[in-house]
Structure 1
Amino acid sequence: MVQGLTLVCPVRGRLKAKAKGRDGLTPTEERFRVEALKHLVDSGYPVANIRVEAVIKRFGNSGRNSFRADFVVLDVPVASVGDDVDEILKHAVLLAEVKRDNVDAASAKSYQVKPMLDFAVRDDCVALYWDDVERRVFWTTRRAGAKVIHEGPLSDLPMFGAKPGATPLTFNTISADVSLLSVFSRIEDLLHSSSISESKRFDIIMQLLLAKLHDEHQHQNQPDAPLDLQDFAALDISPATSLTAVNRTIKQAVDYYQRFLPESVDPNLPATVPGTLLVEIMRVLAPVKVVAMHRSVIQDFYMYFAKHIYRWDLAQYFTPTPVTEFIVELLNPRFGEHVKDPACGSADFLTSTFRRGNAFGWTDYASSIWGSDISPEAVQVGVLNMILHGDGKTNIKKEDSLATIKENAETCDVVVCNPPFGSRIVEKRAEVLSNFDLGHKWSHTAGSWSRSSDLLSAQETGILFAEACVRLLRSGGRVALVVPNGYLGNRSPKFLVLREWLLRHTRIAAIIGLPRFTFKGSGADVSASVIFCEKRETPLKNATDSEDYEFAVEVINRVGWVTGDKKASPSYIRDESDGTLILGEDGDPQIASDFPGALSGIRSSDASADHNWLTKGVAPEPDQSSPGWTVEIGRVLSDPLLTLDPKRHSRKYCEVREKIENGDHFRLGDVVDFIGERSGDAGERREIVPATPYRYVEIQDVEIGSFRWTTRRGWELPDRARHFARPGDIFIGGIWNSVKKWFIAGASSGDLIVTNGFHRLRVKPGFEDYLPDLVAGLCTESHSVQMRALARGSDGLAEISPVDAAEVLFPRLTDPAQRVEVQPFVNQLLAGHTTVEALITTMMDNGRLPHPRPPARPDHTSIV
Structure 2
Amino acid sequence: MSVTANIIDDEKTTSIITIPEGKICDYIDGKFRNDTPEEYVRQNIEKRLVNELKYSRERIKVEYGIKVGSRRPRADIVIFPDGVESFSQENVKLIIECKKETVEPTNKKDGVEQLKSYMSACPNCEWGMWTNGKYKEVLRKVINEKGQIEFIDYNDIPSADGSVEDIDRPKRVSLRNAVEDNLLFVFKTCHNHIYANDGMQKQPAFFELLKVIFCKIEDERNIPNPLEFYVTSSERSNPDGQLTVKKRISKIFERVKRRHNKIFEHNDEIGLSPRSLAYIVSELQSYSLLNTHIDIKGKAYEELVGANLRGDRGEFFTPRNVMHMTVEMLSPKSTEKILDPACGTGGFLVIAMNNVIKELEKQMEAVFGKPRPKWNHDEYRMFQDKISDVASSNFFGFDINPDLVKATKMNMVMNNDGSGNIFRINSLLPPHEWSSDIKEKLSDILGISRSAIRNSKSIALFDVIVTNPPFGSKIPIKDPAILEQYDLGHIWEKNNGYWVKTSRLQSSVPPEQLFIERCMQFLKDGGRMGIVLPDAILGSPGLGYIRQWIIKHAKIIASIDLHVDTFQPRNGTQTSVLVLQKKSQQEIDFEEKSRKMADYNIFMAMAERIGHDKRGNTLFKRDKYGNELLVPEENNVLAIGEIADGTKTVKTISKTKIRDDQTPLIADVFKIWKQQEGITW
State the TM bucket, normalised to the shorter chain. Answer: 0.5 to 0.7
CA contact (8 A) 2:463 2:528 kept: yes
Correspondence for 2:603 among 531, 538, 552: 552
Could you list the per-position Cα deviations for residues 630-668 of structure 1 after superposition, in whole angstroms to 9, with x for gaps in the alignment? Answer: xxxxxxxxxxxxxxxxxxxxxxxxxxxxxxxxxxxxxxx
Q: What's the offset of the Cα at 1:532?
A: 0.7
C-alpha deviation, 1:511, in angstroms: 0.8
Pick one of 402, 413, 419 that aligns with 1:393. Answer: 419
Partner of 2:620: 573
Match of 1:513 in 2: 561
Per the alignment, residue 199 of structure 2 pairs with 197
What is the RMSD computed on CA atoms of the aligned residues? 5.3
**Does the 8 Å CA contact 1:97/1:113 hold for their aligned counterparts?**
yes
Match of 2:78, SS state, is strand
Aligned partner of 1:684 in structure 2 is: none
Per-residue Cα deviation, 1:456-500 (whole angstroms, up to 9, x for no partner): 4348454443233223223432111233444334555x734x444
Q: Could you tell me how far apart the structure 1 residues matched to 2:321 and 2:48 are?
A: 30
Aligned to 2:680: 612
Rate the CA distance shift 1:184–1:443 in 2: closer, same or farther, 3 A. closer
Distance 1:105 1:555, change over 3 A: same
SS in structure 2 opposite 1:27? Answer: helix
Deviation of residue 506 (structure 1)?
3.0
Distance 1:341 1:154, change over 3 A: same
Equivalent in the alignment of 1:318: 317
Tell me which residue corresponds to 2:336. 337
Structure 1 residues 361, 152: closer, same or farther in 2, change over 3 A?
farther
State the distance in 2 between where 1:382 and 1:97 align.
40
1:373-412 equivalences in 2 (<5 Å): 373-374=399-400, 379=405, 382=408, 392-393=418-419, 395-402=421-428, 403-404=430-431, 406=456, 409-412=459-462
Which segments of 5 or more consecutive residues in structure 2 lack a partner in the other structure? Answer: 1-14, 362-386, 432-454, 634-653
Q: Give the Cα separation in 2 of the matches to 1:513 and 1:84.
A: 57
Kindly provide the amino acid, as one letter, of the partner of residue 38 in structure 1: V
Alpha-carbon distance in structure 2 between the residues aligned to 1:65 and 1:299: 39
Give, as a single letter, the amino acid of the residue that structure 2 aligns with 1:480. Answer: G
CA distance in 2, matches of 1:569, 1:604: 31
- Report SS of the residue matched to 1:99: strand
Matched ranges for 1:254-403 at <5 A: 260=263, 267-269=269-271, 273-275=273-275, 278-289=277-288, 292=292, 293-306=296-309, 316-357=315-356, 363-364=387-388, 365-367=390-392, 368-374=394-400, 379=405, 382=408, 392-393=418-419, 395-402=421-428, 403=430
Alignment partner of 1:433 is 2:481? no
SS state of the match for residue 238, structure 1?
helix
Asked if 1:74 corresponds to 2:124, the answer is no
Residue 595 of structure 1: how far off its partner (Å): 1.7
User: C-alpha displacement at 1:8, in angstroms?
Assistant: 6.4
Q: Which residues in structure 2 correspond to 1:585-664 (within 5 Å)?
A: 591-605=659-673, 608-613=676-681
The 8 Å contact of residues 374 and 401 in structure 1, kept in 2 or not, is answered as yes
Question: Residue deviations 1:219-271, cap 9 Å, x none?
Answer: 4545675443313227899333123223444565567668648x99961435x
Alpha-carbon offset, residue 285 of structure 1: 3.4
Residue in 2 that maps onto 1:529 = 576
Following superposition, the deviation at residue 330 of structure 1 comes to 1.8
Aligned to 1:542: 591
Aligned to 2:443: none
Work out whether residues 345 and 407 of structure 2, in 8 Å CA contact, stay in contact via their aligned partners in 1: yes
Distance 2:327 2:44 in 1: 34
What's the secondary structure of 2:617's corresponding residue? coil
Q: Give yes or no for contact 2:467–2:530 (8 Å, CA) kept in 1.
A: yes
Kept after mapping to 2: 8 A contact 1:315/1:521: no
Structure 1 residue 552, shift from structure 2 partner: 0.7
**Counterpart of 1:96 in structure 2: which amino acid?**
L
CA deviations over 1:333-375 (Å, ceiling 9, x no partner): 2223221122334444334434544576762253232122345
Change in 2 beyond 3 A, CA 1:408/1:384: farther
* Counterpart mapping for 1:494-509 below 5 A: 495-496=544-545, 498-509=546-557
Q: For residues 101 and 202 of structure 1, do their structure 2 counterparts lie closer, same or farther at Cα, with a shift above 3 Å needed?
A: farther
CA offsets per residue over residues 122-149 of structure 1, 9 Å max, x none? xxxx747485655969698999x99999
CA contact (8 A) 1:58 1:67 kept: no
Shift of 1:329: 2.4
Q: 1:274 to 1:462 in 2, by over 3 A?
A: closer
Aligned pairs, number:
564
TM-score computed with the length of structure 1 as normaliser:
0.53
What is the deviation of 1:95? 1.8
Q: Is it true that 1:157 corresponds to 2:159 in the alignment?
A: yes
Cα distance in structure 1, aligned partners of 2:65 and 2:664? 49
> Which residue pairs with 1:16 in the alignment?
31
- Whether the 8 Å contact between 1:55 and 1:69 is mirrored in structure 2 is yes
**Larger relative contact order, structure 1 or 2 (CA cutoff 8 Å, min sep 6):** 2
Alpha-carbon distance change, 238 to 37 in structure 1, aligned in 2, over 3 angstroms? closer
SS in 1 for 2:79: strand
Listed one character per residue, the Cα deviations across residues 63-83 of structure 1 (whole Å, up to 9, x for unaligned) are: x9999992312337x3xxx57
Asked whether the equivalents of residues 208 and 271 of structure 2 are also in contact (C-alpha less than 8 Å), the reply is yes
Distance in 2, matches of 1:274 and 1:338, equals 43
Instruction: State the partner residue of 2:505.
Output: 457
Aligned partner letter, 2:557 = A
1:105 and 1:305, CA in 2 relative to 1: closer, same or farther beyond 3 A? Answer: farther
The letter of the residue matching 1:528 is T
Aligned twin of 2:210 = 209
Q: Counterparts of 1:59 and 1:437 in 2: how far apart (Å)?
A: 77
Superposition map of 1:686-697 within 5 A: none
CA contact (8 A) 2:137 2:153 kept: no
Instruction: Using the TM superposition, name which of 146-155 and 231-240 deviates more.
Output: 146-155
SS in 2 for 1:330: helix
Aligned to 1:859: none
Give the C-alpha shift of residue 415 in structure 1.
0.7
What SS is found at the alignment partner of 1:409? Answer: coil
CA 111–266 in structure 1, closer or farther in 2 if over 3 Å, else same: farther
CA distance 1:465–1:188, change in 2 (3 Å): closer
Of residues 470, 477, 487 in structure 1, which corresponds to 2:537?
487
Amino acid at match of 1:393: S
Equivalent of residue 243 in structure 2, options 236, 240, 257: 240
C-alpha distance after superposition, 1:791-839 (max 9, x if no partner): xxxxxxxxxxxxxxxxxxxxxxxxxxxxxxxxxxxxxxxxxxxxxxxxx
Equivalent residue, structure 1, for 2:382: none
